[in-house]
Amino acid sequence: MSKKDGGECTEKVRRYMEQQNRPYSVNDVFMNLHKEVGKTAVQKALDQLTAEGSVREKTYGKQKVYVFSQDQFPPLDESQLQEMDRKAAELSATLKEKEKQLCETETQLRQLIKATQIEEEVSRLQQKLSDLTENRVLVSKEERDKVVKESDAMTRQWRKRRRMAMDILDAILEGYPHPKAQLYEEIGIETDQDAGVTLPKV
């Protein structure tokens, strides 16, 4: 390798260490540069940069780790540090709020899924009642009353859950930047119309 090539390799390693500004081993630098510089050349470049003071070397057991010298960066004044702390606090608060919203949305989604299951059960009972009526199958009054009672109870649950689901969806839509149809599609909501069912009267 010529001196010119060696100088180019050293400059490439120096720029990389400055841009990343985090600790790396020789192998890390070699791999992260996509093997554009040979491993031996990377080691020589880091040794030279360490000797110049551009890079700091730390030894952990048998492994050496290199990091760009922080003395190479202009010092931050107190106002800059305070601004960075303020931004970090804002980002932390935003993250917590997003996590809270995610938790609430997951809870709402579970409620919507439950409502869908109730709708399916009501549809099944309605279909059973319709089959019994149309085919005039002779059933006891007790059995018929039981089916009607179950159907009415499930219908009331359907109505209650449907109202809850719509309230939740309306609340989500207040802060949702897209049309209602897109929200329904994203979270997998199927309306009564989509399912081809009509909420029966109790």
Q: Is the pLDDT of residue 2 over 80?
A: no
Q: Taking a C-beta distance cutoff of 8 angstroms, is the pair 64, 58 a contact?
A: yes
What pLDDT shows up at residue 24?
A: 95
Over 60: is that where the pLDDT of 136 sits?
Answer: no
- Residue 74 pLDDT > 80: no
Q: Mean pLDDT over residues 89-100, rounded?
A: 86
Is pLDDT at 31 greater than 60 in this prediction? yes
- Averaged pLDDT, 81-86: 83
Q: Does residue 28 surpass a pLDDT of 90?
A: yes
Residue 63 has pLDDT above 60, yes or no: yes
* Reported confidence tier of residue 47, pLDDT bands at 50, 70, 90: very high
Once rounded to an integer, what is the mean pLDDT over residues 5-21? 88
The residue that leads in pLDDT, 112 or 14, is 14
Per-residue pLDDT band for 30 (boundaries 50, 70, 90) equals very high
pLDDT band, very low/low/confident/very high, at 16 (cuts 50, 70, 90): very high
Summary mean pLDDT of the chain: 83
Could you give the CA distance from residue 87 to residue 194 in angstroms, rounded to a whole number? 46
Q: Which helix (H) or strand (E) element contains residue 63?
A: strand 63-68
pLDDT value of residue 49: 94
Pick the residue with more confidence: 46 or 175?
Answer: 46
Phi-psi region of 35 (alpha: psi -120 to 50; beta: other; left: phi over 0): left
As beta bridge partners, residue 65 has 58
The CATH classification number of 3-69 equals 1.10.10.10
First CA to last CA across the chain, in angstroms? 89
Q: Could you give phi then psi for residue 66, rounded to 5 degrees?
A: -120, 145
Quote the pLDDT of residue 149.
87
Query: What is the residue extent of each domain of the chain?
Result: 3-69, 95-195
